[in-house]
Structure 1
């Protein structure tokens, strides 16, 4: 649980700092206000996918002990790799846009890889959650059985 807490907190800080960078970098380079850049998307990706989603996963871990499943470890590392890779490419692309430089297909490809990692991680999370729910139901049924037994 501590890893989830630290990761979520780290993404919160990174998300806030990326928003500050977005605002100041565009001002510093006289980038027209309201014109589209992916720097703002990096800000929201870090805050939503990093901070908020991992806080929700922390609550699920507390409730269902998802970390009992090996899939949860895979989820954690794939998910973080996906968030970092995707956000880094958004920042890189956004900086190029603000500086008036062309982006390359390589950036889009790497960002796509980040999204693939995020998707795979979410599948693993739901598989781990499904197993945890089944385990919780079996335990609840087992603890309820003695109460249903007829009295002799």
Structure 2
């Protein structure tokens, strides 16, 4: 649980800092206010996918102890890799836009890999959760079920 808590806290700090960076970087480069850049999306991605989702997973951990599933470690590292890669590409692409430079297809491709890792992490989360919800009910002997009635 501490790992989820500290990761969520770290994403909150980085998410807020990325919002500050977005505001100050666009001002410093005289970027027109209101014009779209992916730099602003990094702030919301880090806060939502990092901070809020991991807080929700922390609550799920408290209720279902999903860390006992062998898939939980896979979820944690794959999902976090996805959040970091996706957010890094948003910052890189957005910074290039603010500086008036062209982006490359490599940035989009790497961002796509980050999104794939996010999706894989979500699947792993649901599989870990399923193993904790379904397995305990299926593992109970029939004798206990009839004795409780």
Q: One fold, TM greater than 0.5?
A: yes
- Provide TM-score, normalisation by structure 2: 0.94
Structure 1 residues 111 and 124 mapped into 2: Cα distance closer, same or farther (>3 Å)? same
Structure 2 residue matching 1:70: 3-state secondary structure: coil
In structure 2, runs of 5+ residues without a counterpart are none
Q: Cα deviations across residues 46-90 of structure 1 (Å, max 9, x unaligned)?
A: 000000000000000111010111111000000000000000000
Query: Any conservation in 2 of the 1:64–1:136 contact (CA below 8 Å)?
Result: no
1:106 aligns with 2:127: no
Measured on the aligned residues, the alpha-carbon RMSD in Å equals: 1.5
Q: Cα deviations across residues 115-138 of structure 1 (Å, max 9, x unaligned)?
A: 000011111100111111113434
Deviation, 1:145, is 3.7
C-alpha separation between the residues in 2 aligned to 1:110 and 1:74? 20
Query: Any conservation in 2 of the 1:22–1:39 contact (CA below 8 Å)?
Result: yes
Q: Cα deviations across residues 9-65 of structure 1 (Å, max 9, x unaligned)?
A: 000000000000000100111000000000110000000000000000000011101
What is the number of residues matched between the two proteins?
A: 148
1:5 aligns with 2:5: yes
- Runs (4+) off by over 6 Å: 139-142
C-alpha separation between the residues in 2 aligned to 1:126 and 1:91? 29
- Provide TM-score, normalisation by structure 1: 0.92
Q: 1:18 corresponds to which residue?
A: 18
C-alpha separation between the residues in 1 aligned to 2:141 and 2:59? 23
**Structure showing greater Rg:** 1
1:23-102 alignment to 2 at 5 Å?
Answer: 23-102=23-102
In structure 1, runs of 5+ residues without a counterpart are none
Q: Cα deviations across residues 90-127 of structure 1 (Å, max 9, x unaligned)?
A: 00000000000000000000000000000111111001
